[in-house]
Amino acid sequence: MVARPALRRAIPSSRTLLHAESRILRSSFSTTLQSQQKPNNNNNSVPEYAIPDPARPTHFGFETVTEAEKRERVAGVFTSVAESYDRMNDLMSFGWHRVWKDHFVASLNPGFSPLTSSSDPRAPQHILDIAGGTGDIAFRMLHTAHILNGNPDVRVTISDINPAMLSVGKQRSASLPASQQAALSFLEANAEDLTQTKPLGANQVGYSPTTGVPDESVDLYTVAFGIRNFSNIPAALREAYRVLKPGGVFACLEFSKADKHPLFNTIYKQWSFSAIPLIGQLVAGDRDSYQYLVESIERFPSQEDFRDMIVDAGFVVGGQGYEDLTGGVAAIHKGMKPRRK
Amino acid sequence: MMRPSSISLRRPARQILFSSVSTIRAAAPVPTTATHRSLSTSTSTGSGCPCANGSRRPQVKQTQELQQQQQQRQQRQHRNAYHSYDHPSSSAAFTPVEESILSAAYQHVPSHGFTPSALAAGARDAGYLDISPTILPEGAFALIRYHLVKQREELAPRVSELFGGEGHVGARPGLSEWEIRGRVEAVTWERLSANAQVIGRWQEALAIMAQPSYVPPSLKELALLSDEILFLAGDSSVDPSWYTKRASLSTIYAAAELFMTNDHSPEFMDTRAFLNRRLREVNEVGGVFRNLREWVGFTATAGVNVLRSKGVRI
């Protein structure tokens, strides 16, 4: 604990640190920069833990590392598993992840509009699929919105921090109908700071960063099996709050705790800690990445704790705020950004 | 306001357990009201966030809104079936945001039915987006539950108007069994009449309520309703008939509701006649059972006495 201030002083050039300091100054003295201030918090100050800090310790599986190091190592994991990602998902969950994803998308019912008497009842929607590299969620969203709900005004932006995962998604999207391909866009971005984004492949043409995702521009923010890899989850939740329109929905599908069923939980833990790294070694030739996967699931907060983190970021939840899937192996959390008073 | 004769606890099991002191207990003030219980059991669930920051537990500055939400959630978990005269249970079945979406959506039920369409239209009216109702975990069933809860809560004021004032609702001394029966019929009819505005959509609502995952909450609402009806009618039984009365009224209410969906008579006259016939039948069956019990009791006592007179030590 004593070493932390010293460590922080040792890296004064860090962009994020300056960012954090300037925010503190801004909220206390400045009036000219009010427009840039995030509208996301009720008490007008972002808690310190929700400001990304590359030097802050976090966990990478069962190890303790800094946030910056976690970012790098997660990038390494997903670059190495990108090619075999879908095949591995099928093997590890016996194909059941498809059922979860289908249910997740069906419960959100994107593109649905009430039949009203006004001229065009179909409202356009913008869906931001964070950590959606391989497009699993985004393609299902487009299918539900364009085909089942007949609403072609639904756009989906796939965002991922990892260009390797995004390019897999880009390849897979080639088999979609042209109208759905036109509604898709790919974005390389860090979910903790969506003000700095670049389209996929921007590196090759010497692209300068765009303005990022504007405030209150997204109807639905989804993140499926991604949020546990984030270095700073509270910061990502606040960023989600910023980009969502009032009434917009934050929806998260993530592995969770099956503690409510002890016997099932024992079998599940046995499977994940012994079989999954082995499958990873045999199929993908990468044991360490899959070891990280199961450890990161273990370290992720329980349903109730994660729900409280969502509420803490300013969202409102309905009912108990989450829905367990398969006894709690996975869970869907949803929150809505309330209307401005 | 304590009435000596009013039985504030509506759960007789306790009183049966302590039957020897039941009269004293029944008249004693009831300390555990809904509010007291929820406050005393409140724990600080959201005080810290065990997030990615590992060892450090950040000091979360709880906003008032957040605390309110959590309190409501706890209140919902600890809601109990006690009827307190001093502390009417607060309506905590829905959070303010749920309430605003559902109340707006409820206006669309006559035209759209209990459907996602009504929910989305309601969300638009309340100033939200088409996607917003997806945070309701039960979907269209939330709208049905809203109807059930609201109509049950509105029953008390309507009934007190019907019976001529606040003081005439609930258990009162001097209410005969016969009067209570009439009042049960009146209150049940009052509740059935509240379905009239959505009756064209009630069949599909019943179909949704019959789906396996929604059966338990629907049955719970039915139990709460029959409890409420009997309470308002002034039933103060503390014997096993507490259960049989509620069970039979639930059955009758469900049947009458189903009958009503196909009733095209003016002002649902046929439904009212149906309801009356069912209630009469229960009373007749109840009378038969009472007579039978009396006969069995008499015969058994007589038999024992005969044996005793023969010198058997019993």
Q: Give the pLDDT confidence of B71-105 residue by residue, as tens digits.
A: 555 554 444 445 656 665 555 678 888 999 999 99
Shortest Cα distance, chain A CAs vs residue B286, angstroms:
41
- B68 at A interface, C-beta within 8 A: no
Q: Which residues contact A252 (CB under 8 A, 6 or more apart)?
A: A222, A223, A224, A227, A306, A310, A332, A333, A334
Inside any domain, residue B262: yes
Token pair, residue A332, equals 């869907």
- B78 at A interface, C-beta within 8 A: no
| Amino acid A209: pLDDT | 54
> Which stretches in chain B have pLDDT values below 70?
1-92, 166-167
- Residue at token pair 């189903």: B258
More confident residue, B47 or A178: A178
* Domain housing B286: 159-314
The number of distinct structural domains making up chain B is 1
- Residue B252 identity (one-letter amino acid): I
Token pair, residue B17, equals 């357990």
Token pair, residue A174, equals 């080639």
The answer to whether B244 touches B14, Cβ cutoff 8 Å, is no
Beta-strand pair A57-60/A63-66: antiparallel
* Interface test with chain A among B49, B63, B70, B75, by most A beta carbons within 10 Å: B49
Shortest Cα distance, chain A CAs vs residue B58, angstroms:
6
Token pair, residue A49, equals 């833990």
Mean pLDDT of chain A: 81
| CA nearest to A106 within chain B | B134
Partner-chain contact A47 B134, CB within 8 Å: no
Inside any domain, residue B154: no
Token pair, residue B39, equals 């406050």
Q: Which residues contact A300 (CB under 8 A, 6 or more apart)?
A: A228, A254, A255, A256, A306
Helix/strand/coil percent split, chain B, to 5: 65, 0, 35
Task: Judge whether residue A13 has pLDDT over 50.
Answer: no
Inside any domain, residue B176: yes
- B127 at A interface, C-beta within 8 A: yes
Task: Give the DSSP letter string of B224-274.
Answer: HHHHHHHHHHT----STHHHHHHHHHHHHHHHHHHHHHT--SGGGHHHHHH
Share of chain A above pLDDT 90, in %: 37
Residues on chain A touching B104 (C-beta within 8 angstroms): none
Q: Name the packing angle between helices B215-233 and B140-162 (round to 10°).
A: 0
Name the residue among B56, B129, B136 with its Cβ closest to that of A245: B129
Q: Is A134 annotated as a binding residue?
A: yes
ipTM for the predicted complex comes to 0.75
| Amino acid B119: pLDDT | 92
Inside any domain, residue B251: yes
| Amino acid B2: pLDDT | 41
Fold adopted by A79-259+295-336 = Rossmann fold (3.40.50)
| CA nearest to A122 within chain B | B130
Inside any domain, residue B295: yes
Q: Which of B230, B245, B236 is nearest to B175 (CA)?
A: B236
Residues on chain A touching B65 (C-beta within 8 angstroms): 42
Q: What's this model's pTM, rounded to 2 decimal places?
A: 0.73
The answer to whether A244 touches A221, Cβ cutoff 8 Å, is yes
Inside any domain, residue B61: no
Name the residue among A56, A115, A249 with its Cβ closest to that of B134: A249
Share of chain A above pLDDT 70, in %: 81
Which regions of chain A carry the CATH code 3.40.50.150?
79-259+295-336
**Which residues 177-206 in chain A show a CB within 8 A of chain B?**
none
Strand partners, A154: A125
Partner-chain contact A108 B131, CB within 8 Å: yes
Q: Is A86 annotated as a binding residue?
A: no
Q: Give the pLDDT confidence of A119-167 residue by residue, as tens digits.
A: 455 678 999 999 988 899 999 999 999 999 888 889 999 999 888 888 8
Partner-chain contact A334 B54, CB within 8 Å: no
